[in-house]
Chain A
C-alpha cells in the first residue's frame, strides 16, 4: 500500500476530506498524517523560516519537516489547502519546494473548494502512485518490439504504432463514442504502419477514456496522462536526461509537469476554467470564421497589446472578443489576444505552482497553434520546444511504456 502523506489546512472543515481519501483508496493508496510532537512545531517552523499566523499551517510545516528528516515514512506527499487563502497559498508552494529540495518524494499540490470531488483528484493521486510504483517502468528511454499507444482525450482520440523506437503509423480524429473512436483510430494507425492488430505485442492507453478502452481492448498498460505524457514529451523532444518543463494545454484541462531524467517530480493540472484551454481557442476560431488550424498563423500576424482580453471565463472571453471586433480591431490582433489570454491564464493558474525549468517543451494539439506557442514563450521568457508529432505525446508515451511489459523488458 502506497502511503501518501497529507499536509493540509481546511480539508476537514471544507467537507472534502472524505473525497481525498476516496480518491487515494481508488488508486490503491492510503492517506497518512505524519505524527509530530507539539513541542517540535515551533522549532520546525523556525527551521523552515516562514512563520505563518495560522496554527494549522504551522502544523503542516512541522509535518513536512518531519518527513524530510526521515522521522516519518511516506512514499509521496499531497499538499492541499483552501482555494483563495493567500497565506496557505504561500505556505503550500514553499512547502512543496522544501520537500523537493530535501527529499526525492513525488509531490502534488492542490487548492480545493467544497465542491472538490474525488474524480477531480483521481488523476493526481494515480500519478503519485504510478511514480512510486512504476519508477523502473518510467525510467524506460527506448521503445522496443511492436506496440501501440492510444490517447483518448476530451477533444481528440489519437493512436500510434511504434516499432523498435520508431513511429511507423499514427492517426487522430475528434472524440465521440470512446470505444468506437479508439478502435477506428487504432485501425487507421495500423493501416499506415502496414501491420495487423494481432501482430501487436502490447497496447497502452491513457486519457479520459483509458479505463473503458483498457478493459475493452485488454490493454497491457492503462495509465493516467500525467506520467504518460511526460514520457512521451521527453522522448519526442529527445530530452530524456536532465530537467525540463512540459506544458500541455488540452481541450478540457491543462497540465504543467516538471521532469528530472524523464520522471515527473511535480505537476499541476488545471481545468477549473475553460478560458485557459484549447476549447476557448476553438470557440475563438469559430467566431473568427476560420479553421482552428489557421488560428496560429493569423495570431502570428497580430499584436495582442492592441486588444484588451483577459478573462477567466470562456464565455466572457468571447464577449471581449466580440466587443473588440465590433470596435474595429483586426482579426489578426484579436487572434493574437486570444492566444495571449490563454497563455497568461496558464501562467497565473498553473505555472506559479511549479518551478519552471528550462527547456520548456510544449505539447498536445494546441502546440500546433503557433500563436499560442509564441504567447507561452512570452510569459515563460523562452520559446518552448515543440517536438515533431507533439499532439501524439500521450499515444507515444503509452506505446513506449507498454513496451516495458514485454517479456524480459527487452
Chain B
C-alpha cells in the first residue's frame, strides 16, 4: 500500500514503511521526478509559479504562496495515499525544515481523506523510540 509520511522528508519513516513492505510517498520521491528534468537546478528551487497555481487545488488564493507551493508537491501524494504516518514534534535536525501552516494543512487533508493513519510523537529517549517503532510496525502490518 502507498503510505504518506509526515514530515514528508523523514528518512526514518521512509525506511520503516519500506521495511514493512509498503511504498512510502515522500517528498524525496516527488522531487526526484523534477530533479531528472533537464531544466531543473536543485530542489526545491525547481518549484515554479506554475506549480504554485496547481497548489490552488489544495489551498485558496488568499493562502500564502509558500504553502500553496508545498501543497502542489505534497497534495498529489496525499491524494494517492492509502494510509499515512504523522510524526509530531519532530526537532529541526530531524529533517522537518518547513512551514508549520503547511504541516497543519497536510494533517487536515489526511484526516479529511479518512484513510487509515497513525499519529506518533517524536521520541525523546530510547524507551519512547522503541514504543514508537513498535506502534508504527503494528500499524503497517495491519494495513491490508
**Interface 1/0s, chain B 37-65, versus A by CB < 8 A?**
00001001101111111000000001111
**Interface 1/0s, chain A 79-101, versus B by CB < 8 A?**
00111110110000000000000
Having A9-B99, A85-B99, one finds 19 other A-B pairs with CB under 8 Å, namely A10-B66, A12-B69, A13-B52, A13-B65, A16-B49, A38-B93, A39-B93, A42-B92, A54-B98, A54-B99, A55-B96, A55-B100, A82-B64, A83-B64, A83-B65, A84-B62, A87-B100, A112-B65, A115-B49
Given contacts A15-B49, A38-B92, contact A10 B65 (CB under 8 A): yes
Asked if A11 is at the interface of the complex by the 8 Å CB criterion, the answer is: yes
Asked if B70 is at the interface of the complex by the 8 Å CB criterion, the answer is: yes
From the candidates A15, A58, A84, A115, name the one contacting B69 in the complex (CB within 8 A). Answer: A15
Complex CA gap A52/B44 in Å reads: 22
Shortest beta-carbon distance, A409 to chain B, in Å? 43
Asked if A154 is at the interface of the complex by the 8 Å CB criterion, the answer is: no
Shortest beta-carbon distance, A81 to chain B, in Å? 8
Q: B residues within 8 A CB of A84? A: 62-64
> Are B66 and A82 neighbours in the complex by a CB distance under 8 Å?
yes
Complex CA gap A15/B44 in Å reads: 9
> Are A59 and B92 neighbours in the complex by a CB distance under 8 Å?
yes
Q: Which range holds the interface residue count of chain B?
A: 20 to 34
Q: A residues within 8 A CB of B68? A: 13-14, 114
Q: B residues within 8 A CB of A81? A: 66
Central interface residue in A10, A81, A85, by most chain B CB within 10 Å: A10
Asked if A290 is at the interface of the complex by the 8 Å CB criterion, the answer is: no
Shortest beta-carbon distance, B73 to chain A, in Å? 8
Asked if A56 is at the interface of the complex by the 8 Å CB criterion, the answer is: yes
Q: Which range holds the interface residue count of chain A?
A: 20 to 34
Q: B residues within 8 A CB of A17? A: 45
Chain B, 1-58, CB within 8 A of any chain A CB:
41, 44-45, 47-53
Asked if A105 is at the interface of the complex by the 8 Å CB criterion, the answer is: no
Asked if B135 is at the interface of the complex by the 8 Å CB criterion, the answer is: no
Asked if A68 is at the interface of the complex by the 8 Å CB criterion, the answer is: no
Given contacts A10-B64, A10-B66, A82-B64, contact A15 B52 (CB under 8 A): yes
Asked if A24 is at the interface of the complex by the 8 Å CB criterion, the answer is: no
> Are A55 and B44 neighbours in the complex by a CB distance under 8 Å?
no
Shortest beta-carbon distance, B106 to chain A, in Å? 13
> Are B67 and A82 neighbours in the complex by a CB distance under 8 Å?
yes
20 of the cross-chain contacts (CB-CB < 8 Å) are A10-B66, A10-B99, A13-B44, A13-B73, A14-B47, A14-B49, A14-B66, A14-B69, A15-B49, A17-B45, A18-B41, A54-B98, A54-B99, A55-B100, A56-B97, A84-B63, A85-B101, A87-B100, A113-B65, A115-B49
